[in-house]
């Protein structure tokens, strides 16, 4: 099954209040395994960057000034995600910003039926625990030492590992397991068919072995079986 893990960075918290998308990062997974295919883009938000938001992700107005508008890469983004389920941490936030950008250029929104929220998954798996991405990375022993600031692609890479843990751990996919099992059965069957037959081994003790065993029992002092 193909799934897309994604994250966004923005100018703030409220797309309805004028905040804009400035970065998006996507990781492709098939059967819970990363394929190496990614989509990553920065966008000019056509507005100022609040200092509080810049402190989180480090993306300044100067850095974003020459980046493309969301509209110029929207088709490429939509083609990459296709119709796959979309996994994000606090997914309602990310869906809200992406859909606001799509609405701004006259495109239909992403269907929220495709949304998989890892915060909701973690809340069920670890009730009462901290649910931030950092906290979950610590819980599962995922190295985040290179994460000094938020970044959409980096956070997607970390979230992909967290998602695997939240959905069963580092186990081989069922489809691949079935293929391996079938191959193993064929190999064993073929090997056993081609192996030369040998005479069955005797499974009863000889007279000498029985006599030796009886002598050993007689040598045991105060055996439990005689009490």
Q: What is the set of active-site residues?
A: 150
The dihedral region occupied by 36, where left means phi > 0, alpha psi between -120 and 50, and beta the remainder, is left
d(CA 23, CA 46): 13
- By C-alpha distance, which of 110, 67, 176, 74 is closest to 59? 67
The 8-class DSSP code of residue 224 comes to: G
Task: Sort strands 21-30 and 86-88 into parallel, antiparallel or unpaired.
Answer: unpaired
Gap between the Cα atoms of 6 and 227, Å rounded? 74
E-only strand ranges, 160-222? none
Please report, in angstroms and rounded to a whole number, the separation of the first and last CA atoms in the chain: 67
């Amino acid at each position: 099954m193909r799934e897309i893990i994604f994250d966004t960075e923005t100018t703030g918290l409220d797309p309805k209040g004028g905040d804009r998308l400035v970065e998006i990062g996507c990781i492709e997974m098939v059967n819970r395994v990363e394929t190496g295919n990614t989509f990553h883009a920065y966008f000019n938000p056509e507005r100022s960057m609040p200092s509080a938001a810049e402190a989180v992700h480090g993306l300044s107005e100067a850095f974003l000034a020459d980046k493309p508008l969301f509209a110029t890469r929207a088709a490429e983004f939509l083609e990459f995600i296709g119709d796959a389920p979309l996994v994000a941490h606090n997914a309602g936030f990310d869906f809200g910003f992406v859909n606001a950008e799509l609405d701004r250029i006259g495109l239909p929104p992403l269907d929220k039926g495709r949304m998989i929220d890892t915060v909701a998954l973690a809340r069920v798996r670890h009730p009462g625990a901290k649910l931030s991405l950092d906290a979950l990375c610590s819980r599962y022993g995922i190295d985040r030492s290179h994460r000094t600031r938020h970044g959409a692609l980096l956070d997607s890479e970390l979230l992909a590992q967290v998602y695997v843990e939240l959905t069963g751990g580092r186990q081989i996919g069922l489809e691949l397991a079935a293929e391996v099992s079938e191959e193993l059965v064929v190999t064993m069957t073929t090997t056993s068919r081609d192996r030369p037959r040998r005479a069955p081994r005797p499974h009863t003790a000889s007279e000498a072995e029985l006599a030796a065993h009886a002598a050993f029992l007689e040598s045991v002092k105060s055996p439990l079986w005689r009490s």
